[in-house]
């Protein structure tokens, strides 16, 4: 691995009291190029602008995948990377669906760990903050012909962050979209492809103009079944049972936090269901007083309680607009593992040692 250290640090530019999400970037980035049928040696270099030609194929046809994961500074000062294996496997699945060559596992993981180790001073200390990692792969051919690229570039940049939503753990308002479709069966819903997110922007922006931070998508065919929120998977607590849409149709991203929640809940013996959910069932449960909690799950927000669902002209206030008991304990447990307060019984953490 080639390493070129930054001569000056960007750390002084960061206001750690107002981190927000994705506003600041660390000193270094990881690059690995794919050319002539193979991945080249990874290199870590100072964070900097990247020169690409106007004919870059990704700018025109979007052959691009990405990931999002986090490293935490624990209560004992140790740096912990959360679920590296799962994020790598999802990057592989996304790459295969977009016909991008699979990144070699050992080189990828070793390089990620080294990058975090080098920029460990950027990892914030406060509970609820972390170092967010954004791996992504783009096609690098220069052509206006529609085709699969022959060259690719993997990059990883990192950013010290706080909560994704300004609301933090305060419940957010969600607009239920019945007009537009984000994905359909056989599409890109189950992969982290740039195109998947681009398809959600218009409806999300319309919702934001009405005061809703996010959109709850229904299925792309009939607009009857619950799909997912724009940046999160969605979960419901109905009469004590934890229910979330299944992944069987391939329209929903297999979230790592989603999987973490389900594993923890089942370990505790909770009643859990993964299945297709008619939105009419959610409405009926609400009217009968059985809809106790709604929350989103995702790497960026971890757990994001939903206080209101707006469906057409109908307003559903969830749990009096307050975070629910199950949402809170799941957030406390996942963050407790991430920061080293609780035992990592699932083997989810990679502890990153100090540089020698």
Q: Could you write out the DSSP letters of every residue in 155-167? A: EEEEEEE--SSTT
Q: How far apart are CA 256 and CA 299, in angstroms?
A: 7
The domain 2-162: what is its CATH number? 3.30.470.10
DSSP 40-93: ---EEEE-------TTBHHHHH--EEE--EEEEE-TTS-EEEE-HHHHHHHHHH
Helix boundaries (H) for 288-324: none
Q: Which residues are CB-contacts of 21 (< 8 A; sequence separation ≥ 6)?
A: 132, 159, 161, 162, 163, 164, 300
User: What band does 280 get if pLDDT is binned at 50, 70 and 90?
Assistant: very high
Residue 166 has pLDDT above 80, yes or no: no
User: What band does 163 get if pLDDT is binned at 50, 70 and 90?
Assistant: confident
Residue 51 has pLDDT above 80, yes or no: yes
Distances 128 to 14, 21, 155, 239 between C-alpha atoms, Å: 17, 12, 26, 30
Distances 280 to 174, 225, 249 between C-alpha atoms, Å: 16, 8, 19
Q: How far apart are CA 151 and CA 32, in angstroms?
A: 11
Fold identical between 2-162 and 172-338? no
Per-chain mean pLDDT for the chain: 95
DSSP category for residue 141? -
Distances 175 to 10, 178, 283, 355 between C-alpha atoms, Å: 38, 9, 14, 47
What number is the average pLDDT over the span 193-212? 93
Q: How far apart are CA 268 and CA 331, in angstroms?
A: 14
Per-residue pLDDT at 356: 52
User: What band does 353 get if pLDDT is binned at 50, 70 and 90?
Assistant: confident
DSSP 207-263: HHHTT-SEEEEEPTTTS-BEEEETTBEEEEEETTEEEE--STTS-S---HHHHHHHH
pTM of the model: 0.95
User: What band does 231 get if pLDDT is binned at 50, 70 and 90?
Assistant: confident
The torsion defined by the Cα of 280, 328, 254 and 82, in degrees rounded to 10, comes to 170
Domain 172-338 in this protein, CATH class: alpha beta
Structure confidence by residue, pLDDT tens digits, 61-71: 999 999 999 99
Q: How many angstroms from the chain centroid is the CA of residue 94?
A: 13
Per-residue pLDDT at 124: 96
Q: What are phi and psi of 90, to 5 degrees?
A: -70, -35
| Sequence ranges of the domains in the chain | 2-162, 172-338
What number is the average pLDDT over the span 149-165? 95
């Amino acid at each position: 691995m080639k390493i070129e250290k930054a001569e000056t640090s960007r750390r002084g530019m960061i206001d750690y009291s107002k981190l927000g999400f994705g506003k600041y970037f660390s000193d270094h980035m990881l690059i690995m190029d794919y050319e002539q049928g193979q991945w080249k040696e990874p290199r870590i270099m100072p964070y900097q602008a990247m020169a690409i030609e106007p004919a870059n194929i990704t700018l025109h046809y979007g052959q691009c995948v990405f990931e999002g994961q986090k490293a935490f500074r624990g209560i004992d000062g140790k740096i912990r990377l959360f679920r590296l294996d799962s994020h790598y496997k999802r990057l592989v699945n996304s790459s295969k669906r977009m016909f991008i060559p699979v990144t070699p596992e050992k080189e990828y993981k070793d390089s990620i760990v080294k990058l975090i180790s080098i920029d460990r001073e950027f990892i914030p200390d406060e509970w609820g903050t972390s170092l967010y990692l954004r791996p992504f792969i783009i096609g690098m051919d220069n052509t206006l012909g529609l085709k699969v690229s022959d060259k690719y570039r993997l990059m990883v940049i990192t950013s010290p962050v706080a909560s994704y939503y300004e609301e933090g753990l305060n419940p957010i308002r969600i607009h239920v979209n019945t007009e537009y479709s984000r994905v359909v069966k056989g599409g890109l819903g189950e992969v982290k492809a740039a195109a998947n997110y681009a398809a959600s922007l218009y409806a999300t922006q319309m919702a934001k103009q009405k005061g809703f931070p996010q959109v709850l998508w229904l299925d792309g065919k009939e607009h009857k079944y619950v799909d997912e929120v724009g940046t999160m998977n969605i979960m419901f607590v109905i009469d004590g049972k934890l229910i979330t849409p299944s992944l069987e149709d391939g329209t929903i991203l297999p979230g790592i936090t989603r999987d973490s929640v389900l594993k923890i809940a089942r370990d505790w013996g909770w009643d859990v269901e993964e299945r297709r959910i008619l939105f009419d069932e959610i409405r009926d449960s609400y009217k009968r007083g059985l809809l106790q909690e709604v929350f989103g799950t995702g790497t960026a927000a971890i757990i994001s309680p939903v206080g209101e669902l707006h469906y057409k002209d109908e307003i559903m206030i969830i749990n009096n607009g307050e975070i629910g008991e199950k949402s809170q304990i799941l957030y406390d447990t996942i963050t407790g593992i991430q920061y080293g307060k609780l035992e990592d019984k699932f083997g989810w953490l990679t502890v990153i040692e100090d540089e020698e």
